[in-house]
């Protein structure tokens, strides 16, 4: 059972983009803006996909001063 079975199409695209950009730890987290530029999806779709990743335990969001950061857990 892969991630394709658990996530929507946009969720998979965002997950793979985060993995390619090595957003694998809190030290290497990236912003939604960077993910949006990488995936070439509209920002609302990226935000919905990030919300899905958080809900299903694939990613974590950390609130910072300027912009929230995201990194993968699985």
Residue spans per domain, the chain: 3-72
**What are 72's strand-pairing partners?**
59
Predicted local confidence at residue 29, as pLDDT:
94
pLDDT for 71 beyond 70: yes
Predicted local confidence at residue 1, as pLDDT:
61
Instruction: Find, among 19, 34, 31, the residue nearest to 69 by Cα.
Output: 31
Q: Return the SS3 of 69.
A: strand
**What are 69's strand-pairing partners?**
62
Decide: pTM greater than 0.85.
yes
Q: In terms of CATH architecture, what is 3-72? A: Orthogonal Bundle (1.10)
Tell me how far apart the alpha carbons of residues 38 and 16 are, in angstroms, rounded to a whole number: 10
CA distances from 74 to 15, 53, 65 (A): 10, 10, 26
């Amino acid at each position: 059972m892969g991630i394709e079975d658990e996530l929507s199409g946009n969720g998979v695209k965002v997950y793979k983009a985060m993995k390619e950009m090595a957003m694998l730890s809190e030290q290497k987290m990236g912003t939604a803006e960077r993910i949006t530029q990488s995936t070439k999806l509209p920002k609302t779709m990226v935000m919905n996909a990030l919300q899905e990743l958080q809900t299903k335990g694939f990613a974590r969001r950390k609130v910072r001063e300027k912009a929230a950061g995201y990194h993968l857990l699985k």
